[in-house]
Chain A
């Protein structure tokens, strides 16, 4: 089995590492996009007046649709209707971001709703504008509570990113399956890939946990009890 490992994993380290890089690239950008979309959707839902009735279906759709379905839909349907995304990588990033933005919107929402309302009133009483209150008082606290969950969502994105291989994005999974299909020796390659994903996701989870514990100790926050 060791020779096999050398033959199929080490020999192919170049494409495999290339795949890993693509995975990281896709996950990074979709995480960023998800944060923006999620926060935006959350604020619209909470404070958007009539626009709320657009935000809520958006959030529900993002959460209720399986990621594979979203991936295929964005990749095949959107170019026809909206004209973008023009690349599979774009489709992958958008689809992963959509899925995560739904959960992030809800995470932020419970963060906002957990804030004691007295704080907002006190800030308004000293004459702070709405935007100021949001920026200086509310968002920082929501960020503190939400951060462990947000980091966790990154782990979820990495897990879901394995599916982008389906729309021919050359990520780690894609490269691995390619080697397996070529050589019919799946044991070493797939186990190595599984291990790689596990280590990546496990590290992210550990960071999320450490942040949670650290914030609890430092700020005495545990999701407002």
Chain B
């Protein structure tokens, strides 16, 4: 067992393939960044719609959040990669095909927008209604109230939770390897098969993710702490 353990923690293989692996990690970062943008934009649209007095709008928003919070990300990813292009092709009459990268960004973005929309809603609701009433009585329009009064305060309150959800999103980018996006896990699998030595690589991957995520979480914790003491969040 000791020999196996030594084999597991041997970084030589990792080092040998470091360029390919880092390129793969870069793919994870790209997809993370792009799907984060998609998720945040959708989250705000849905979160704001959730608070609309119009039942059609708020009902759709509730349904949206429930669907995407309760569907596994992998299932969503596969569905968007395989099924959606076919449906769009039938609908639009043009041949539609998604690249793995695009499907991954849409899939993860939509999946996490469900969770984030709840955070947005909670943040908006945490602002006392009286502030909006005062603004209304002064003649400000609903949109201006959202833009100048509610959102500036709400965003600060949402930040810690949104940051947590972004960390989860980054962890989730590993599954894009399963629809053949050439991220780090994809490369690790390929190399393991080629080299017939999965042990050090999978251990290495686990350790790298562990270190990166823990470091990022710690850094973000102290950041949000600083925000809290400054009264921002």
Query: Is A80 in contact with B202, judged by CB distance below 8 angstroms?
Result: no
Nearest A residue to B189 via CB reads A72
Complex CA distance for A202 and B76, rounded to whole angstroms: 15
Complex CA distance for A77 and B200, rounded to whole angstroms: 8
Query: Is A80 in contact with B4, judged by CB distance below 8 angstroms?
Result: yes
* Contact stretch, chosen from B78-86, B123-131, B150-158: B78-86
Query: Is B1 in contact with A64, judged by CB distance below 8 angstroms?
Result: no
Judged by a CB distance under 8 angstroms, whether B42 is at the interface is: no
Nearest B residue to A195 via CB reads B71
Contact digits for B141-175, partner A, Cβ 8 Å, 1 yes 0 no: 00000000000000000000000000000011011
Judged by a CB distance under 8 angstroms, whether B67 is at the interface is: yes
Judged by a CB distance under 8 angstroms, whether B8 is at the interface is: yes
Query: Is A187 in contact with B83, judged by CB distance below 8 angstroms?
Result: yes
Residues of chain B from 1 to 53 with CB closer than 8 A to chain A in the complex: 1, 4-5, 7-8
Query: Is A66 in contact with B172, judged by CB distance below 8 angstroms?
Result: yes
In the complex, chain A residues whose CB is within 8 Å of the CB of B177: 68
Query: Is A159 in contact with B73, judged by CB distance below 8 angstroms?
Result: yes
Which bucket holds chain A's interface residue count?
A: 35 or more
Complex CA distance for A85 and B218, rounded to whole angstroms: 33
Nearest B residue to A202 via CB reads B70
Query: Is A70 in contact with B206, judged by CB distance below 8 angstroms?
Result: yes
* Contact stretch, chosen from A38-46, A136-144, A160-168: A160-168
With A64-B210, A155-B70, A205-B70 in contact, is A190–B78 under 8 Å at CB? yes
Query: Is B86 in contact with A186, judged by CB distance below 8 angstroms?
Result: yes
Query: Is A61 in contact with B4, judged by CB distance below 8 angstroms?
Result: no
In the complex, chain B residues whose CB is within 8 Å of the CB of A61: 210
Query: Is A76 in contact with B72, judged by CB distance below 8 angstroms?
Result: no
Judged by a CB distance under 8 angstroms, whether A125 is at the interface is: no
In the complex, chain B residues whose CB is within 8 Å of the CB of A65: 171, 206, 209-210, 213
Complex CA distance for A180 and B82, rounded to whole angstroms: 9
Query: Is A198 in contact with B67, judged by CB distance below 8 angstroms?
Result: yes
B136 CB to closest chain A CB, in angstroms? 32
Judged by a CB distance under 8 angstroms, whether A28 is at the interface is: no
In the complex, chain A residues whose CB is within 8 Å of the CB of B140: none
Query: Is A76 in contact with B86, judged by CB distance below 8 angstroms?
Result: no
Complex CA distance for A158 and B175, rounded to whole angstroms: 16
Complex CA distance for A197 and B111, rounded to whole angstroms: 14
Complex CA distance for A155 and B4, rounded to whole angstroms: 35
18 A–B pairs (Cβ distance < 8 Å), ordered by A: A65-B206, A65-B213, A72-B189, A76-B198, A76-B202, A77-B199, A77-B202, A80-B199, A81-B5, A163-B74, A163-B175, A177-B78, A180-B82, A190-B83, A191-B79, A193-B75, A197-B75, A205-B70
Given contacts A64-B171, A70-B206, 14 further A-B contacts (CB under 8 A): A66-B209, A69-B185, A73-B202, A73-B205, A76-B192, A81-B8, A159-B71, A159-B73, A173-B78, A187-B83, A197-B72, A198-B71, A202-B66, A205-B70
Using a CB–CB cutoff of 8 Å, the interface residues on chain A facing chain B are 60-61, 64-70, 72-73, 76-77, 80-83, 155, 158-163, 166, 173, 177, 180, 186-187, 190-191, 193-194, 197-198, 201-202, 205
